[in-house]
Amino acid sequence: MKMKKMLAGAGLACVVYAGSFSGAIAHGDQQGKHGKQQDKAVTIAHRGLSAYAPEHTMASYQLAKNLNADYLEIDLQMTKDGKLIAMHDTTVNRTTDGKGQVKDLTLKEIKQLDAGSWFNQKNPDRAKAKYEGLEVPTLEEIFKKFGKNANYYIETKSPSLYPEMENELVRLIEKYKLADSKNHPNRVVIQSFSKESLLNIHELNPELPLVQLISYKNPAVATDAEIAELKSYAVGAGMNYRMIDEAYVKKMRDAGLWVHPYTVNDPADMQKLLDWGVNGMFTDYADVLKKVLKQQKENNKKYERIHQ
């Protein structure tokens, strides 16, 4: 992807991020428990630092961690023998040298696949020999490696294919003690396009903050009824950034909901969304978003000095 010139036209507009939300909701006052995360716009490393390393590999996650991205985003699929792996697609075809549905392959079979060479072939300017032969990691391996030193933004992908997905996900989160809402209420955020999956997660562990992914076919309009429904079980929503505008963001934020658009890779788009007041965003270029946020912070300081 050809990136536009960094931070072109960044203005001095002061952006204020609300640090606390309130309002009891049907499933346990989720905003009250989890609002403090939103005192700043968060950087969500989409499939790791996937612009520079093969998505959903330890190499990609390590690069994102090195940048201090706020969240490592992990898509989940489930193997034939019930293991959760980090993978976006329901097949291994695109991101490995294998073929077939994840649900039809055992973890041992998937571990034999090369999950890195495709990236080198697709991105010769960013190819690295160490990416050849990378394995598909399990969710447990990611938890073991990064533990409580990272935050996780986890999506249940195609949960209807995997009846045990939510049970295994919550089991692993609890095994590694990542759902301690008292001391770190947002270490793990669960997202899904499936409301049913999110409600299942809530029943298993009400402490976990939930984000509803929404696929808008037309420019987004947030109705009062839709917002009320969202607030009954979720702390926020994620949507294609191209389908929203400033009015949409304001209405969602005024209702106390997080707004985390996806997948934003251009610095001008990042700046626009920040000006609108989003709480964070998914990006393949966490390094670029970090620079935009740094510039935004400097601009805010300049604005404050000028208007003191």
Helix (H) and strand (E) counts in the chain: 11, 9
Residue 184 a catalytic site member: no
Please pick, among 34, 46, 56, 202, the residue that the annotation labels catalytic: 46
Strand partners, 76: 86, 156
For residue 164, count other CB atoms closer than 10 A to its CB.
12
For residue 126, which phi and psi values (nearest 5 degrees)?
A: -120, 10
H-assigned helices in 219-263: 224-231, 246-254
Residue listed under structure tokens 């809530």: 202
Secondary structure (H, E, C), 125-182: HHCCHHHCCCCCCEHHHHHHHHHHHCCEEEEECCHHHCCCHHHHHHHHHHHCCCCCCC
Residue 202 a catalytic site member: no
Q: What is the DSSP letter of 5?
A: P
Please pick, among 27, 56, 88, 260, the residue that the annotation labels catalytic: 88
Residue listed under structure tokens 């208007």: 307
Q: Which residues are catalytic?
A: 46, 88
